[in-house]
């Protein structure tokens, strides 16, 4: 009788473990999937998991495949279970992932061809067109447009402008205009100021305290008082590990990076947490609509992923939304599930 009870208890625990593990895998998840060009890691994680941010817990590297932490178009992804626990890995590498050498002296960084976590186009433009002037920048003296040739009030591509401040001849600079001030909605602490990239100039010559520049391109009309920042050639990273934050997050959406009052899938937003709060690129957060009656449970209305972090704020992409997302909506850690 005791043996029978032990057997039943053991069987129950094993079954419960399997159910818990299987519970995170979608019922229609494929056991084999050939990665397509245009796929993103989030697409694939969402295909397999009810909670895509748990991807790091189920993804396994393959010791028999080089760079198996990266996924390329044409790769075969496989889902298996090991003692009831799911694991997903690159089963077979496609042609694109295998070709990393072009000649005896020229090599290609394999990550260049790897699928991104989220579509590159959705974040590249946002990062290149926007920045955050942080609190510690307030005493920094940026080069500034002092006047425009022919006494114009605005300038466009091809026009000459005159700048005061520390710039170098023949160097290229981006032109920025300061926008909205971002504040903590509770304490009114200034967290940063949005900077919009409105053009690009090249310094042609210097005379005294003035530097003559030529406008190479403009996205908006360039005005007196706009500031210059040295053009950065830093590579924009689009391969992240979608995951839940390691620390508790309780913040709000402060603003958007597009000229919108409501946000939906593939829009970029700014939240009031950053490096100092332990956030890292790839962190997934749930967006909640605040109820007027605080006793009513919060209503989940979407997911966002952090892709650019500053000291006190971060840029995030809306991955999904079941209703329009507004400023001041809450953002919190996604609900945990056990594997």
109-149: per-residue pLDDT in tens? 556 778 888 888 888 889 989 999 987 776 688 999 999 99
Nearest of 44, 90, 45, 93 to residue 69 by alpha carbon: 90
Of 115, 150, 175, the position where a domain reaches its end is: 115
Of 195, 230, 265, the position where a domain reaches its end is: 230
Q: Are 254 and 226 contained in the same domain? A: no
Residue 102, pLDDT score = 47
Evaluate whether residue 133 is within a structural domain. Answer: no
Evaluate whether residue 238 is within a structural domain. Answer: no
For the beta carbon of residue 59, count every other beta carbon within 10 angstroms: 21
Nearest of 209, 221, 226, 229 to residue 159 by alpha carbon: 221
Evaluate whether residue 44 is within a structural domain. Answer: yes
Evaluate whether residue 123 is within a structural domain. Answer: no
Evaluate whether residue 195 is within a structural domain. Answer: yes
Nearest of 98, 125, 132, 210 to residue 165 by alpha carbon: 210
Cα separation, 29 vs 33, whole angstroms: 9
For the beta carbon of residue 39, count every other beta carbon within 10 angstroms: 20
- Find the CATH number of the domain harbouring 181: 2.40.10
Residue 329: DSSP 8-state: -
Q: Are 226 and 258 contained in the same domain? A: no
Of 197, 230, 263, the position where a domain reaches its end is: 230
CB 60 within 8 A of CB 86: no
Q: Calculate the alpha carbon distances from 317 to 106, 114, 154, 258, 284 in Å.
A: 35, 20, 33, 12, 10
Q: Are 21 and 101 contained in the same domain? A: yes
Residue 114, pLDDT score = 85
Evaluate whether residue 210 is within a structural domain. Answer: yes
Helix residue ranges, H only, the chain:
2-23, 41-48, 55-58, 95-98, 120-129
Contacts of 197-201 with CB under 8 Å at 24 or more apart are 197/128, 197/129, 197/130, 197/131, 198/222, 198/226, 199/157, 199/174, 199/175, 200/172, 200/173, 200/174, 200/175, 200/231, 201/161, 201/163, 201/172, 201/173, 201/175, 201/228
Evaluate whether residue 237 is within a structural domain. Answer: no
Mapping DSSP onto H, E and C, the string for 208-275 reads: CCEEEEEEEEECCCEECCCEEEECCCCCCCCCCCCECCCCCCEEEEEEECCCCCEECCCCEEEECCCH
Is 0.75 surpassed by the pTM of this model?
yes
pLDDT-flagged residues of the chain (< 70): 1-22, 99-111, 138-139, 233-234, 337-339
Residue 111, pLDDT score = 65
Give me the domain span that covers residue 276. 250-332
Kindly state the tokens that stand for 291.
């109820």
Residue 1, pLDDT score = 42
Q: Are 38 and 74 contained in the same domain? A: yes
CB 281 within 8 A of CB 324: no
CB 326 within 8 A of CB 261: yes
Q: Are 99 and 19 contained in the same domain? A: yes
Q: Name every residue whose Cβ is closer than 8 Å to that of residue 151 and which is 6 or more positions away in sequence.
A: none
Q: Are 66 and 96 contained in the same domain? A: yes
Q: Are 177 and 85 contained in the same domain? A: no
For the beta carbon of residue 287, count every other beta carbon within 10 angstroms: 29
Q: In angstroms, how far is the first alpha carbon of the chain from the final one?
A: 32
Evaluate whether residue 128 is within a structural domain. Answer: no
Q: Count the domains in the chain.
A: 3
Residue 113, pLDDT score = 79
Q: Are 208 and 287 contained in the same domain? A: no
């Amino acid at each position: 009788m005791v043996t029978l009870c032990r057997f039943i208890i053991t069987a129950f625990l094993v079954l419960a473990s399997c159910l818990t593990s299987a519970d995170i895998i979608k019922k229609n998840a494929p056991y084999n999937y050939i990665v397509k060009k245009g796929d993103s890691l989030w697409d694939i994680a969402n295909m397999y998991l009810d909670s895509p941010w748990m991807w790091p817990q189920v993804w396994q590297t393959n010791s028999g495949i080089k760079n198996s932490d990266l996924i390329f178009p044409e790769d075969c992804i496989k889902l298996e279970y090991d003692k009831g626990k799911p694991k997903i890995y690159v089963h077979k590498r496609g042609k694109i992932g295998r070709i990393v050498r072009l000649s005896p002296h020229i090599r290609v960084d394999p990550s260049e061809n790897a699928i991104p976590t989220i579509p590159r186009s959705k974040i590249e433009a946002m990062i290149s067109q926007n920045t955050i002037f942080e609190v510690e920048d307030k005493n920094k003296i940026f080069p500034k447009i002092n006047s425009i040739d022919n006494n114009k009030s605005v300038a466009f591509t091809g026009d000459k402008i005159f700048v005061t401040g520390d710039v170098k001849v023949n160097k290229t600079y981006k032109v920025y205009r300061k926008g909205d001030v971002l504040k903590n909605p509770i304490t009114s602490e200034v967290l940063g100021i949005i900077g919009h990239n409105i053009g690009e100039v090249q310094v042609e010559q210097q005379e005294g305290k003035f530097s003559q520049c030529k406008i190479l391109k403009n996205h908006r009309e360039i005005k007196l008082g706009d500031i210059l920042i040295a053009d950065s050639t830093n590579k924009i990273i689009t391969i992240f590990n979608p995951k839940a934050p390691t620390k508790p997050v309780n913040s709000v959406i402060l603003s958007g990076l597009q000229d919108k009052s409501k946000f939906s899938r593939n829009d970029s937003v700014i939240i009031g947490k950053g490096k100092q709060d332990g956030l890292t690129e790839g962190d997934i957060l749930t967006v909640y609509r605040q109820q007027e009656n605080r006793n009513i449970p919060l209503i989940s209305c979407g997911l966002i992923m952090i892709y650019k972090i500053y000291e006190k704020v971060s840029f995030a992409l809306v991955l999904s939304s079941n209703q329009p997302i507004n400023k001041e909506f809450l953002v919190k850690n996604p609900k945990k599930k056990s594997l």
